[in-house]
């Protein structure tokens, strides 16, 4: 049974993330954490944009915030987002050095979530212009999580999905509509 969904995106990913969240039912049972790359010093409105289209509550993460099922959490600008092993599970924010020139790093969220949730984790990569997410997705796969990548032909910037596909034998390389259908079906199990 899956407990958490992590989503990584960068350039071109925000409209896709809005469509994805709009497609999830308001009773979706998994906690959802999202890392999006933003320029340093940029004030993010991503949580508000997603909240406007989602049937699930969407907020920007606070340090040490408990992870609640059926809630969407967005990493704040310029902080790495990690999942901690505490009971109840919590998020941690870090100002550690950028990874692959970015903070927040998709790799860090995916790796830390995989270490906590293992085979109960689903990871999704959308659009992006760098390779962040490939190493984290490799950890998700190694620890038994379900790995999905947006078909690079549907991504505005396909560098990120292609980097993941090159590094990891992902479970699904599919359209956004198929990602939404898969997320709904596994959320019901």
Residues known to be catalytic: 10, 37, 132
Peptide bond between residue 143 and the one before it cis (omega within 30 degrees of 0): no
CA 134 vs. chain centroid, Å, equals 12
CA 181 vs. chain centroid, Å, equals 17
Answer left, alpha or beta for residue 64, where phi above 0 means left and psi between -120 and 50 means alpha: left
User: Percent helix, strand, coil in the chain (nearest 5)?
Assistant: 35, 25, 40
Measured at the alpha carbon of residue 19, what is the angle toward residues 31 and 16, in degrees to the nearest 5?
95
β-strand partners of 158: 128
Answer left, alpha or beta for residue 45, where phi above 0 means left and psi between -120 and 50 means alpha: alpha
């Amino acid at each position: 049974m899956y407990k958490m969904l992590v989503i990584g995106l960068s350039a071109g990913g925000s409209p896709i993330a809005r469509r994805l969240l709009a497609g999830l039912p308001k009773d979706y049972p998994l906690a959802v954490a999202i890392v999006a790359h933003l320029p340093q010093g940029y004030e993010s409105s991503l949580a508000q944009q997603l909240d406007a289209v989602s049937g699930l509550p969407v907020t920007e993460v606070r340090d040490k915030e408990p992870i609640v099922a059926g809630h969407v959490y967005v990493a704040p600008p310029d902080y790495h987002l990690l999942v901690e092993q505490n009971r109840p599970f919590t998020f941690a924010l870090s100002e550690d050095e950028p990874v692959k020139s970015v903070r927040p790093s998709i790799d860090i969220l995916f790796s830390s979530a995989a270490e906590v949730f293992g085979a109960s984790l689903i990871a999704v990569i959308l659009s992006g212009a760098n390779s962040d997410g490939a190493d984290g997705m490799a950890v998700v796969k190694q620890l038994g999580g379900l790995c999905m990548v947006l078909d690079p032909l549907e991504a505005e910037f396909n560098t990120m999905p292609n980097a993941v596909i090159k590094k990891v034998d992902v479970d699904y390389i599919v359209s956004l509509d198929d990602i939404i259908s898969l997320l709904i079906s596994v959320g019901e199990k």
